[in-house]
Every structure is written in C-alpha cells, then in structure tokens.
Amino acid sequence: MRVVFIAASLLIAAAVAGPPAFATGGEPPDDPTADPGACLAAANLPDDRHTIALCSKVIDSRETDREQRVKALLARAAAHARIGQVDRAIADYDDALRVDPKQPDALNARGELWRGKGDARKALTDFAAALKLRPGHVAARANHKALALEVERAGMQQALAGRPSFDCRGARKAVDKAICADPALADLDRRIDALYRRALRDSAGQPAVLR
C-alpha cells in the first residue's frame, strides 16, 4: 500500500511540474521584437536612446539581412553621435562600412567624427574616400577643403613658431634682441603684427570720417 502511494505521489508531482526540459545545445531564439521598420522610424524621432535600443535588436538578430543590418547600423551610429558617444558611433560606422564599403554618407559622417576627435589624417582619408565614391558630395567636399586649409595653416604656424615679424639678423635695438631671444615673445610679436596689418587693411576700406 505504501509503494502504491509513493508511485501515485511521483506521478502527480511530474504532472504538476510539466514535461522535463532538455538542453538543445542551440542558441537562444531571436528577439521577435527586432523590427527594422521600427528602428528606422525611431531614427527620425528625438529619442536617440530609444533608437539605439530598437536598432540594437535588429543588428543582433540572425534574421536581419545584409541591407537592413547596414541601415540599422547607420541609424544607431547617428544616434550615438548625437548623444556624444563618439567612439560607439565610429564603431558602428566601421561595421556598416565593412558590410558595404560603398557608403559615401557614412564615410563623410565618420570623417566628421574623426575631425572632432582631432585626428585630421583619418578625417581627410574618409572625406577623400567619400568624394571618390561620389565626386559631387557637397558636404564631403566642403569638409575636405576646410580641413585641408586648417592643416595647411597649422603647418605654416608650426614653421613660424618662435619667429617674430621681423628678421632677427638685422636686430639692433635691445627690445628687438630680447624678442628674438624669447620664442614666446617672438610669437606674440608676430600675432600683434598680423592684427595691426589686418586693422590697416580694414580701415583702408572705410570712408574717411570728418572731424
């Protein structure tokens, strides 16, 4: 009688617990809420963190095709950039360009981020690559031209560093010799001279004031 009672108890417990779980060894199922349409729609809304969350599901899903993954990466990259997560934005642009290298807008956007980080070489490379893909890319052309001028000016300033506005070989006055002997004073003298010359040019274009 005791054996029958124990067997019945085990059957009831098994029925309540439900069928046993067996390890399949496979990966967990994809998130059914990974919706490319929702990701791209959210990209046009002001809530960037919501965009990141929705697009992350699309990017992580094994069911997402190549084209939709690129779009989701670009949308998430732009959202990361808008909230100041520059490194994450660059990483997303990297991934998108690995999947599809022919993305001039992505190259220009990544170049702007590199420029903001102070890496002129990588920025110029991205702007040039964008122009190679699309020669008429207005933003990439403007960015490339402006940054190239900045680099050129920086190179000129570096070449002039420590040099005053006059030739030290002809310095005779004590003050001129002191300026030539001090790089900081030499730089200050050159900047003052540049401001003075600019003021003269500006005043030359102004009508005379009668006093």
For domain 102-160, give the CATH number. Answer: 1.25.40
Q: What is the pTM of this model?
A: 0.61
Q: Which two tokens stand for residue 62?
A: 């094994």
Counting residues of the chain whose pLDDT is more than 90, the rounded percentage is 42
Distances (CA, A) of 97 to 38, 39, 74: 22, 19, 9
pLDDT at 42 over 80: yes
Lowest mean pLDDT across 25-29, 104-108, 120-124? 25-29
In the chain, where the domains are located: 34-100, 102-160, 164-200
Helix (H/G/I), strand (E/B), else coil: 63: coil
Q: Which two tokens stand for residue 4?
A: 């029958």
Distances (CA, A) of 152 to 13, 87, 147, 158, 159: 81, 27, 9, 10, 11
pLDDT at 165 over 60: yes
List pLDDT tens digits, range 56-96: 999 999 898 999 999 999 999 999 999 999 999 999 999 99
Average pLDDT, the chain: 79
List pLDDT tens digits, range 100-114: 999 999 999 999 999
